[in-house]
Amino acid sequence: MAASIRDVAREAGVSVGTVSNVLNRPEIVAAGTVARVTQAIEQLGFVRNDAARQLRAGRSTSFGLVVLDTRNPFFMDLAHGAQRRAIDDGYTVLMGGSDDSPQREHSILEMFEEHRVAGVLISPVDTDLTQLWRLRQAGIPVVLVDRGSSDRSFSSVSVDDVEGGRIAARHLLELGRRRIAFVGGPLGIKQVSDRVNGATSVVAETSGATLEVRETRALSVLEGRRIAEEIIALPADRRPDAVFAANDLLAMGVLQAFVMTGSLRVPEDIALIGYDDIDFASAAVVPITSVRQPAVEIGATAVGLLLSEAQAGADATREQIEFTPELVVRASTVGGA
């Protein structure tokens, strides 16, 4: 059906090798020949077959990106950064969302491996990283995004989540809040547990302060709403005076539930802080205080590491890059602001 390089060669009266050269290194082909071949390509509407090209080359010209949630603006920004950086170097980014499911993560990675991607960027759900080791062994560089590699065995681009947790908790404590509820999960996700730990450490140093963890099944708006309803249902004396949500989606869900039911005023009755600082956080009913992560930059940097690791081959040096999170104060914690 579709024209092949062979058809083009026949049409232009040259050999297939020459057509291939016109496609890939036109500078080594005589100008007249280039013209004739180009003309034939036009004529036949020839389009290169990527599968054949890759088969020959042995590796694809795409990177794979696995994120926790394709509908989370934070990850979309991250993907955007990755894509931009990749395009500059002639690469393409394939994205898959694991939706917090290890099985789904597994099958996405399997797909990437079958595709012989040039590298994998991943924000893992699965605590077990053996599949990633396997990938590397198969010659596919792996870079962790939005989470560090505790034993430095993988390159990574992350934000110091423990510090982020500390920043959030400290902010709430400085405002005089003492009964903090942490909303987030699954706790198996390192980013989440790091944030809890950071918060816990700060709370522990403050007398009279407590931190209660309410684990969610996902980092979504819906889960936020669910937990908020639980909180609303609590008797007033057992109710927290501040909520630290593991990400802005959860924070928005929490906020919606509080505002809609009109049961609790933010921040008067209960302060709220999120994480990520997605664009929508600032536009919320009550603009949400958040701990900012530079999503676009993380994505771009990660692709950079991938490129250099791909270049260097098997014995590349692993590099851990860590950004510092930044507090963005808004009305959800400081009423007047």
Specify the residue, 27 or 315, whose C-beta has the smaller distance to DNA.
27
User: How far is residue 61 from each of residues 46, 135, 214, measured CA to CA in Å?
Assistant: 21, 16, 43
Q: Does 47 bind its own copies (CB under 8 A)?
A: yes
Residues that bind DNA in the complex, under the rule CB under 7 A: 2, 4-6, 13-21, 23-24, 28-30, 32-33, 46-49, 52-53, 55-58
Q: Does 280 bind its own copies (CB under 8 A)?
A: yes
Q: Does 265 bind its own copies (CB under 8 A)?
A: no
Q: Does 12 bind its own copies (CB under 8 A)?
A: no
To the nearest whole angstrom, how small is the minimum distance from the Cβ of residue 54 to DNA? 9
Q: Does 6 bind its own copies (CB under 8 A)?
A: no
- The C-alpha atoms of residue 183 and residue 324 are separated, in whole angstroms, by 22
To the nearest whole angstrom, how small is the minimum distance from the Cβ of residue 287 to its own copies? 7
Specify the residue, 211 or 295, whose C-beta has the smaller distance to its own copies.
295
Q: Which does 5 bind (CB under 5 to 8 A by kind): DNA, its own copies, none?
A: DNA
Candidate residues 5, 19, 76, 250; the one interacting with its own copies per rule CB under 8 A: 76
Question: What secondary structure letter does DSSP report for 144?
Answer: E
What values do phi and psi take at 183, rounded to 5? Answer: -115, 120
Contact in structure between 82 and 123 (CB atoms under 8 Å): no
Strands 92-97 and 326-328 come out as unpaired
Q: Is the bond into 267 cis (omega within 30 degrees of 0)?
A: yes
Token representation of residue 25: 């290194």
Specify the residue, 71 or 152, whose C-beta has the smaller distance to its own copies.
71
Candidate residues 27, 30, 130, 138; the one interacting with its own copies per rule CB under 8 A: 138
Q: Which does 176 bind (CB under 5 to 8 A by kind): its own copies, DNA, none?
A: none
Interacting residues of 245 by C-beta distance below 8 A, sequence separation 6+: 183, 184, 224, 251, 254, 272, 273, 274, 275
Burial class of 242 by CB neighbour count within 10 A (0 to 12, 13 to 18, 19+): buried
* Side-chain-side CA neighbours of residue 291 (13 Å): 29
- The C-alpha atoms of residue 22 and residue 25 are separated, in whole angstroms, by 6
Candidate residues 35, 42, 43, 48; the one interacting with its own copies per rule CB under 8 A: 48
User: Of the ranges 7-15, 195-203, 226-234, 281-289, which one interacts with its own copies (CB under 8 A)?
Assistant: 281-289
Q: Does 279 bind its own copies (CB under 8 A)?
A: yes
Amino acid at 44: L
Q: Does 255 bind its own copies (CB under 8 A)?
A: yes
**Site residues for its own copies per CB under 8 A:** 1-2, 45, 47-55, 60, 70-71, 73, 76-77, 79-80, 92, 94-95, 110-111, 113-116, 134, 137-139, 221, 252, 255-256, 279-280, 282-287
